[in-house]
């Protein structure tokens, strides 16, 4: 039995099949964790959703910002964007079953010394606090009230955590922290706009995982979301978004040994994302 973690698939179903074949993945004995963003921008979001759902207990996936975007589009909260590839899901005969399955995925998952999240964490939260905060939002997403949450999800404020936050502001911050974070300042104030690779960011911003006072340092955190960072490990974290959608690769980490990476190249480089491999427009 082996447990793997795989970076953002975003509808790149053919590459996912090739990667699992390369791993000789057997759902009867192996397990796979996904860093979220199962859908959108790639060509086969519907096939990806159906396959991962049908893996049952062999798969764990956290929610990413593109997964939440699909839920919001399906509820009429926002319109599809020009590069979205969600139509097949929205018109599928099993649309409702797939969307109900998707919105019941966790925002954060912990097992042993590993913590799985789509984007990142603020330095102020311990692992236990992060799990508690994630559960607050998960309760809403899994209830009949979830359309109200989606209607109040958009916007970049608040950008700093306080235990005094309440209502929609509190839930919005929690979800955006877990699904959109890349950079913050030294006080833990999040910046949701900067998407460039570390070293190119504006002065005063640092990658969320570099802050010395980050309280989740005892754990190994696995995340995606940051294609300009790519497959990378350091500071007790591993990023697995190697930009398959943008002509890069799809990458898996062997969680049993903690360092073995396996990748497959994008089948049609440059034809999916519509941007260069290191574009600041990636999201």
**Confidence at residue 268, expressed as pLDDT on a 0 to 100 scale:** 72
Domain-located, residue 274: no
| Residue 59 token pair | 């798969």
Q: What CATH number did the domain enclosing 222 receive?
A: 3.60.21.10
Mean pLDDT by 10 residues, the chain (283 residues): 98 98 98 98 97 98 98 96 95 98 98 98 97 98 97 96 97 98 95 96 97 94 97 97 95 97 84 42 46
10 Cβ neighbours under 8 A, 6+ residues apart: 37, 38, 39, 40, 41, 42, 45, 66, 244, 245
ω into residue 158 within 30 of 0, thus cis? yes
Give the C-alpha separation, 32 to 202, whole Å. 36
Number of structural domains the chain divides into: 1
Domain-located, residue 108: yes
Give the C-alpha separation, 238 to 220, whole Å. 8
Give the C-alpha separation, 182 to 38, whole Å. 19
Q: Is the whole model's pTM more than 0.85, yes or no? A: yes
Domain-located, residue 136: yes
238 Cβ neighbours under 8 A, 6+ residues apart: 5, 220, 221, 222, 223, 231, 232, 253
Domain-located, residue 192: yes
Range of the domain at 232: 3-265
**Confidence at residue 77, expressed as pLDDT on a 0 to 100 scale:** 96
Domain-located, residue 276: no
| Residue 9 token pair | 């698939």
């Amino acid at each position: 039995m082996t447990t793997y973690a795989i970076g953002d698939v975003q509808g790149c179903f053919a590459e996912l099949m090739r990667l699992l074949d390369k791993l000789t993945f057997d759902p009867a004995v192996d397990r796979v964790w996904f860093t979220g963003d199962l859908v959108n921008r790639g060509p086969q979001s519907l096939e990806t959703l159906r396959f991962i759902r049908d893996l049952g207990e062999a798969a764990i996936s956290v929610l990413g910002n593109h997964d939440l975007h699909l839920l919001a589009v399906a509820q009429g909260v926002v319109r599809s964007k020009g590069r979205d590839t969600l139509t097949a899901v929205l018109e599928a005969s099993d649309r409702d079953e797939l969307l109900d399955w998707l919105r019941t995925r966790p925002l954060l998952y912990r097992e042993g010394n590993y913590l799985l999240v789509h984007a990142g964490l603020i330095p102020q939260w311990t692992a236990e606090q992060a799990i508690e905060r994630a559960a607050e939002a998960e309760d809403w997403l899994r209830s009949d009230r979830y359309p109200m949450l989606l209607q109040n999800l958009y916007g970049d404020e608040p950008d700093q955590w306080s235990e005094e936050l309440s209502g929609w502001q509190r839930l919005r911050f929690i979800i955006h922290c877990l699904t959109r974070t890349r950079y913050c300042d030294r006080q833990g104030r999040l910046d949701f706009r900067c998407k460039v690779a570390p070293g190119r960011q504006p002065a005063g911003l640092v990658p969320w995982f570099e802050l010395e006072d980050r309280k989740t340092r005892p754990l190994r955190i696995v995340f995606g979301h940051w294609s300009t960072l790519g497959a990378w490990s350091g500071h007790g974290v591993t990023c697995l978004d190697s930009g398959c959608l943008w002509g890069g690769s799809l990458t898996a980490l062997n969680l049993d040994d903690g360092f073995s990476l396996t990748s497959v190249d994008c089948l049609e480089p440059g034809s999916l994302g519509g941007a260069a491999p290191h574009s600041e427009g990636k999201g």
